[in-house]
Amino acid sequence: EVQLVESGGGLVQFGGSLRLSCAASGFTFSTSAMNWVRLAPGKGLEWLSAISGIRGTTYHADSVKGRFTISRDNSKNTLYLQMNSLTAEDTAVYYCAKPGPDGDWGPQYFQHWGQGTLVTVSS
């Protein structure tokens, strides 16, 4: 059974940094692309970042490019999101998500989701 468990959320001050983690199990993590998606209060789902499986190629939404960095440690089956220069607009629940098909970079529809971790940025 695929399991994704996010951690690392919390309260951070404006301009601060935070690193989120997503511990994965139940599938071959190293060969699967992974993504981060967030849900801000009163808003809709927003795709943030993706990283391919073996090659580790990264993709970021324009809204976070230059501030957020996605990475992975295949030896620890863990996905990360380093978030810098945080503002109130980054307050959200952050989800890691796994696409349906395994593979370095396949169709990115998200079959599996974690429960999310809440990030609150205070001014």
Q: Which is nearer to another protein, 85 or 111 (CB)?
A: 111
Rounded to an integer, what distance in angstroms lies between the CA atom of residue 97 and that of residue 49? Answer: 10
Q: Which is nearer to another protein, 16 or 116 (CB)?
A: 116
Rounded to an integer, what distance in angstroms lies between the CA atom of residue 28 and that of residue 23? Answer: 12
Rounded to an integer, what distance in angstroms lies between the CA atom of residue 1 and that of residue 82? Answer: 27
Q: Which is nearer to another protein, 82 or 108 (CB)?
A: 108
| Shortest distance (Å) from residue 123 CB to another protein | 26
> What is the SS3 assignment for 69-94?
EEEEECCCCEEEEEECCCCHHHCEEE
Q: Which is nearer to another protein, 75 or 109 (CB)?
A: 109
| Shortest distance (Å) from residue 86 CB to another protein | 20
| Shortest distance (Å) from residue 107 CB to another protein | 6
Structure tokens that stand for 80 in this block: 């990360």
- The answer to whether the CB of 7 falls within 8 A of the CB of 20 is yes
| Shortest distance (Å) from residue 70 CB to another protein | 12
- Binding footprint of another protein on the chain (CB under 8 A): 35, 37, 39, 44-47, 50, 59-62, 95, 99-100, 107-111, 113-116
